[in-house]
A and B are shown apart, each in its own frame.
Chain A
Amino acid sequence: MPDTSQTAVPKSPLGVKKVMIITTAVLTFIPFWKAAAVVLCDFGSSAFYAGGIAIRAFGPAFPWYILIVMLAAGPLLLVYIESCSLFVRGGIYKVVKEGLGNRMAKIAVSAIIFDFVLTGPISAVSAGHYLSGFVQSVFSYMDLSFPVPDNTFAVIFAVLCTLYFWRQNIKGISESADKSAKIVIVTMIVAIVLALWAIGTLFIRGGAKLPPLKPEFSPEALGWSVNFSWFKAVGLLGALMAVGHSVLALSGLETLAQVYREVEYPKIENLKKAALTVFLFALLFTGGLMFLASMIIPPELVANKYYENLLAGLAMELAGPEILKILMQGALVLCGAAMLAGAVNTAIVGSNAVLNRVAEDGILTDRFRKIHKKYGTTSRMINFIVGIQLIVILISHGKVYVLGEAYAFGVLWSIVLQTLSTILLRIKRPQARTFLVPFNIRYKNFSLPVGASVIFLFFFSVASINLITKRVATVSGIAFTVFLFTLFYISERLNAKKANMMFEEGHREEINTTAVSTLDEALRTELAHKKRVVIGVKDPENMYHLEQFLKNMKDDSFDIIVLYAKPSPDTMFGKGSLKAAPLDDKKIFSNVILIAEQYGHAVIPLMVESNDPYYALSQVASEADADRIILGVSGTYGAQDQMERMAMAWGAVKDKKLEHPVTVDILWEGREVNFKFTV
């Protein structure tokens, strides 16, 4: 870090000595539609492979059951919203830990990581198949007899794709929500064209029939159920079995909980809108296209030719000139590859995030949590996940169906545990929530969560039936979950002493600081609004004033500069104040970011080194042309004395006539002291 103290010192030796910009993952917040796009890039990608896997399992009835799964996604989204309303950094680990305890949380995490280690490979291999299918279509159109080894191509592509995102994650480069939004918008346009063309094709050809409702299970799809005479694949049981084989269409829905921390104010309202967007898009895109595919592609081609790239098959079986169909397939493959690649990345990001949550509780040893020297990322966790994903890709030999067979254990059991935890948290944390899964029967002081219980029972039934019918998923899922749970258990034991300490410390954001020469340089590119407020922070445990401001802010009309003036050795407040000063800027800014996330308002974190924090606040406010300065009450001095020092510092800094009044507020619980510097 360059020493800029010389250039940063103002005329007067008092005040700011050094300016540091804080950079971290989440400093800005996204609107609901971008949040929905991030989720859809993952969740929507399952449309590209879920149908092909389902048809292999139970035949042409697959669109009905994928539709049921898409409909079930709606209530499940409600569960996610409720859990997000309880914990900003919810995630399955936090929710299950609070609801069912540490042990079940570790099981849930193990299960969700099993989901992630399969989602990545299944998406990457599927993208490979779409690409190879497209190459074959082009070759065929050009009369080139150059056979593309489909599975090998898919494996090579999947490995390369996974390695690319492994590198990106090691470097800490995150995919932007803007990119996801672009992908989803283009995909939506392509899907609308495809759907209209498909509907047109149905009209031209006539005699279109809806797919049959009754599933016809393959011997593999019956699993161990053949051993039980009472277990008949008919009626409700058969329907639940079919749903179990289609449930991989839910893959990626949990991204909603991950993206919640980035959603802007008002958070829950925006999350609801994002969830509704996700639900409607998935219903029409995944659900709708499955029906069109089944009604247009001849069943024998679905089962034999297009099961690895069903939507490409839909494009190629449309009525119309070959070249247009290839172009349609190309557009679809482009969107599919982008979405599926996004899902590969999300699987790495998601598993790394979950493992980080576990690590924050001290469950993982230092060896596991070691930070990459150059990039500051948890590279060993990323290596662990990507290593397993690469093994899975190689084992699959590029067969999506094989991966699909193993899938669903993790996603289903993590959903079951999360839904159960959300219900139990109604009892454990009965305080008011900003959102509740609907359909609750109130009796005196007790509320029976009927809606949430029905959702739980549905997914619990499907998960239980899947244990019998999806043998590969059951065996591999249980084996992986036991393996990871054991790893957590041993690691936690080895780390027991440190775990307590880390638990006390709580969450710590990865904070990077970059020194710049002047305040102007630090603020120039950050300021975007006419109104500006500078909020001084010092004590990580005393951020009431910041919280109050963000809580009461109803729009994003302010640039909010959150300033920590780190005491310099020549402090004006005596050497004793240096010892008393909390020098742990990571803890301070971790808490700032947690609060900003909670209310969904973007903040500009700034750290300066100064011998007088009041002077530094005044300098920053003056440089930013702020309208307000807010600070918390000091534990050492009274609010009135603080305000007096603030007045002195402001006068000392002021070097020009004010164009607008500047208000100073010192806030603490239930009280405040204000002062207005008039024009």
Chain B
Amino acid sequence: MQQETVSVSSLLNEKNTLLIEHADMQKGELIKQLVNLACAGLSNIDTADILDRVLKREESITTTLDTGLSIPHCRVDGISACRAAMAVVKDGIKDPVADNIDIKVMFLFVSPSNPSFFQAHLQILAQLSEKFKDSFINRLTQASTAEEALKIVKQ
């Protein structure tokens, strides 16, 4: 079993990190935006298909934690490494399943569907929920630019 460790901060850069002051959109729309950012530059990938998979996964066990972190994700064929995108939503957006929770940070990632990558996929989820706790999310929402938010993540 391959035990590849992926650092979540290494998945982010200026191009795939967003900072949104007022999100006048639904969760699904934000997911779509992040899928496009995460898969940018991948010529052999159908982003519509990935969006479908992510949204389908969202219909299963919720990927939102009470801290305000949402981790939409899916596993796809045709990629050999993880791709991600992050949005910090200062005012938060409602989660349609857990309506008492505002999503403040959405970290979307896709990982290779290769079974040997499943452990790394799970490690990313564990890392994200460990890292993005209340105080960390508060720091992110206080950032004034996407670059600043990215810097906080990479610290």
A146 an interface residue at 8 Å Cβ cutoff?
no
Structural contact, B66 and A651, CB atoms closer than 8 A: no
CA of A651 to CA of B67, assembled, Å = 12
Structural contact, B65 and A574, CB atoms closer than 8 A: no
Structural contact, A647 and B66, CB atoms closer than 8 A: no
A676 contacts which chain B residues (CB < 8 A)? Answer: 119
Shortest CB–CB separation between residue A671 and chain B, in angstroms?
13
B67 contacts which chain A residues (CB < 8 A)? Answer: 12, 14, 652
Interface contact tally, CB-CB below 8 A? 73
CA of A31 to CA of B139, assembled, Å = 57
CA of A637 to CA of B127, assembled, Å = 22
CA of A677 to CA of B128, assembled, Å = 14
Structural contact, A647 and B98, CB atoms closer than 8 A: no
Structural contact, B133 and A675, CB atoms closer than 8 A: no
Binds B, one of A107-115, A264-272, A353-361, A638-646: A638-646
A147 an interface residue at 8 Å Cβ cutoff?
no
A305 contacts which chain B residues (CB < 8 A)? Answer: none
B43 contacts which chain A residues (CB < 8 A)? Answer: none
A570 contacts which chain B residues (CB < 8 A)? Answer: 100
One of B66, B118, B121, B127 near A572 (C-beta < 8 A)? B66
Structural contact, A572 and B98, CB atoms closer than 8 A: yes
Structural contact, B65 and A641, CB atoms closer than 8 A: no
Shortest CB–CB separation between residue B138 and chain A, in angstroms?
14
Shortest CB–CB separation between residue A107 and chain B, in angstroms?
54
B130 an interface residue at 8 Å Cβ cutoff?
yes
List A residues 13-61 near B (Cβ within 8 Å).
Answer: 13-14
Structural contact, B62 and A675, CB atoms closer than 8 A: no
Structural contact, A647 and B125, CB atoms closer than 8 A: yes
B57 an interface residue at 8 Å Cβ cutoff?
yes
B65 contacts which chain A residues (CB < 8 A)? Answer: 14, 648, 652
B81 an interface residue at 8 Å Cβ cutoff?
no
Structural contact, B134 and A641, CB atoms closer than 8 A: no
Structural contact, B125 and A644, CB atoms closer than 8 A: yes
Asked if A641 meets B119 with Cβ closer than 8 Å, knowing A647-B126, A650-B126, A652-B130, the reply is: no
A654 an interface residue at 8 Å Cβ cutoff?
yes
List A residues 394-435 near B (Cβ within 8 Å).
Answer: none
B25 an interface residue at 8 Å Cβ cutoff?
no
Interface code A666-679, partner B: CB below 8 Å = 1, 0 otherwise?
Answer: 00000000011110
A468 an interface residue at 8 Å Cβ cutoff?
no
Asked if A647 meets B122 with Cβ closer than 8 Å, knowing A572-B98, A654-B130, the reply is: yes
List B residues 100-125 near A (Cβ within 8 Å).
Answer: 100-101, 118-119, 121-123, 125
List A residues 57-105 near B (Cβ within 8 Å).
Answer: none
Q: Which of B65, B97, B118 has the largest count of A CB atoms less than 10 A from its CB? A: B65
Structural contact, A572 and B62, CB atoms closer than 8 A: yes
One of A641, A647, A650, A675 near B57 (C-beta < 8 A)? A641
CA of A677 to CA of B121, assembled, Å = 12
B131 contacts which chain A residues (CB < 8 A)? Answer: 651
- Minimal Cβ-Cβ distance residue in A for B57: A641
Structural contact, A651 and B127, CB atoms closer than 8 A: yes
CA of A295 to CA of B57, assembled, Å = 85
CA of A675 to CA of B62, assembled, Å = 19
A643 contacts which chain B residues (CB < 8 A)? Answer: 122
Shortest CB–CB separation between residue B2 and chain A, in angstroms?
12
B63 an interface residue at 8 Å Cβ cutoff?
yes
Number of B residues, CB within 8 Å of A: 30
A14 contacts which chain B residues (CB < 8 A)? Answer: 65-67
Structural contact, B133 and A652, CB atoms closer than 8 A: yes
A573 an interface residue at 8 Å Cβ cutoff?
yes
CA of A476 to CA of B65, assembled, Å = 70
CA of A648 to CA of B67, assembled, Å = 12
Shortest CB–CB separation between residue B60 and chain A, in angstroms?
4
- Minimal Cβ-Cβ distance residue in B for A612: B66
A249 an interface residue at 8 Å Cβ cutoff?
no
Structural contact, A12 and B134, CB atoms closer than 8 A: yes
Structural contact, B122 and A645, CB atoms closer than 8 A: no
Number of A residues, CB within 8 Å of B: 28
One of B57, B62, B101, B126 near A651 (C-beta < 8 A)? B126
A649 an interface residue at 8 Å Cβ cutoff?
yes
CA of A412 to CA of B65, assembled, Å = 65
A675 contacts which chain B residues (CB < 8 A)? Answer: 119, 122
A572 contacts which chain B residues (CB < 8 A)? Answer: 62, 64, 66, 97-98, 101
CA of A676 to CA of B126, assembled, Å = 11
Shortest CB–CB separation between residue A665 and chain B, in angstroms?
13
CA of A643 to CA of B60, assembled, Å = 12
A640 contacts which chain B residues (CB < 8 A)? Answer: 118
CA of A570 to CA of B100, assembled, Å = 8
B100 contacts which chain A residues (CB < 8 A)? Answer: 570
Structural contact, A651 and B97, CB atoms closer than 8 A: no
Structural contact, A648 and B98, CB atoms closer than 8 A: no
One of A13, A638, A648 near B126 (C-beta < 8 A)? A648
A677 contacts which chain B residues (CB < 8 A)? Answer: 126
List A residues 224-247 near B (Cβ within 8 Å).
Answer: none
Structural contact, B123 and A647, CB atoms closer than 8 A: yes
A614 contacts which chain B residues (CB < 8 A)? Answer: 61
A654 contacts which chain B residues (CB < 8 A)? Answer: 126, 130
One of B61, B97, B128, B133 near A641 (C-beta < 8 A)? B61
Shortest CB–CB separation between residue B69 and chain A, in angstroms?
8
A641 contacts which chain B residues (CB < 8 A)? Answer: 57, 60-61
Structural contact, B126 and A642, CB atoms closer than 8 A: no
A645 contacts which chain B residues (CB < 8 A)? Answer: 61-63
Structural contact, B134 and A638, CB atoms closer than 8 A: no
Asked if A642 meets B61 with Cβ closer than 8 Å, knowing A573-B97, A677-B126, the reply is: yes
Structural contact, B61 and A644, CB atoms closer than 8 A: yes
Interface code B44-68, partner A: CB below 8 Å = 1, 0 otherwise?
Answer: 0000000000000100111111110
B71 an interface residue at 8 Å Cβ cutoff?
yes
List A residues 518-551 near B (Cβ within 8 Å).
Answer: none
CA of A645 to CA of B118, assembled, Å = 13
A652 contacts which chain B residues (CB < 8 A)? Answer: 65, 67, 129-130, 133
Asked if A574 meets B97 with Cβ closer than 8 Å, knowing A13-B66, A14-B65, A648-B63, the reply is: yes
A642 contacts which chain B residues (CB < 8 A)? Answer: 61
27 pairs, CB–CB < 8 Å, chain A vs chain B: A12-B66, A12-B134, A14-B67, A572-B66, A572-B101, A573-B61, A573-B62, A574-B98, A614-B61, A637-B60, A641-B60, A643-B122, A644-B122, A645-B61, A645-B62, A645-B63, A647-B123, A647-B125, A648-B65, A651-B127, A651-B128, A651-B131, A652-B65, A652-B130, A652-B133, A654-B126, A675-B122
Which B residues fall within an 8 A CB radius of A? Answer: 3, 57, 60-67, 71, 73, 97-98, 100-101, 118-119, 121-123, 125-131, 133-134
- 9 residue pairs, one from A and one from B, having the closest CB atoms: A651-B129, A651-B130, A14-B66, A651-B126, A647-B125, A652-B129, A647-B122, A647-B126, A641-B60
Known: A647-B129, A652-B67. 12 other contacts (CB 8 A): A573-B62, A641-B60, A643-B122, A645-B63, A647-B126, A648-B128, A648-B129, A651-B127, A651-B128, A654-B126, A675-B122, A678-B3
